[in-house]
Amino acid sequence: MKQRILVVDDEEKIRAIIRKYAEFEGYEITEARDGMEALEICRKEDFNLIILDVMMPELDGFSTCREIRKIKNIPFIMLSARGEEYDKIHGFELGIDDYVVKPFSPRELMMRVKVVIGRNEPKGMTGGHEIFQAEGLVVDFTGRTVTVNGKRAELSPKEYDLLFYMVRNRNIALERERLITEVWGYDYYGDDRTLDTHIKLLRSSLGEYRRFLVTLRGVGYRFEA
């Protein structure tokens, strides 16, 4: 079965070029001209990924992402003509998986699509229920949940990936390059500040257990518990 992508952009030329390259890679494409149309489509259909423009009429990309997140847990790649750090942080806080600044290379976008879809594909069970617990922090790898003092923490897909990787490699100094390679993929082309942004968001979600995420100056990070 083909993997399905919803492309949401008010520019027909942008949708057309993404469709051309995505269909060449074997993906099935559905298009939406604005956020409202995308929301209605998502109420009826499921997708492996949504490529979403920020600046759109009716409903902007951030609002569209927020509304779709209420009904579906679908990975997002956000497109924007603006590359300001605030926009990126706002997008990651909403749970997007990647952020691409226009104008972009369609081939690079396809590489990012491949990485995001691959990272979010359901993994097969290996037997047992894998859980890590330190004080009031419970990380359930099998159920893909995190609870802090009995309360469920709401993390983005990439925040889960990052935390799970760090917990599995706890008490080990993890270089920035290693974290980016292992969590985002070998062909990740983004800014390495993306890692710092996700660490910041994770610390916020973990509350008092933020102390488990230790910064190693000039090296990277370590999960210490």
In tens, the pLDDT along 140-183 reads: 888 888 999 989 998 988 899 999 999 988 888 999 888 988 88
- b (16+ CB within 10 A) / e for 125-164: eeeeeeebeeeebbbebeeeebebeeeebebbbbbbbbbb
Per-residue pLDDT at 128 = 52
Q: What range does the domain containing 98 cover? A: 4-120
| Residue stretches of the chain with pLDDT short of 70 | 1, 83-84, 120-129, 186-192
Residue 104 lies in a domain: yes
Per-residue pLDDT at 214 = 95
pTM given for the model: 0.58
Per-residue pLDDT at 27 = 93
Per-residue pLDDT at 183 = 87
Please state, in angstroms and rounded to a whole number, the distance separating the CA atoms of residues 61 and 67: 10
Please state, in angstroms and rounded to a whole number, the distance separating the CA atoms of residues 81 and 83: 7
CB 129 within 8 A of CB 143: yes
CATH of the domain at 94: 3.40.50.2300
Residue 19 lies in a domain: yes
Per-residue pLDDT at 127 = 46
Query: Do 37 and 68 have their domain in common?
Result: yes
Domain count, the chain: 2
CB 214 within 8 A of CB 206: no
Residue 204 lies in a domain: yes
Residue 126 lies in a domain: no
Boundary residue ending a domain (120, 151, 181):
120
Residue 125 lies in a domain: no
DSSP state of 121: S
Per-residue pLDDT at 153 = 92
Boundary residue ending a domain (65, 91, 120):
120
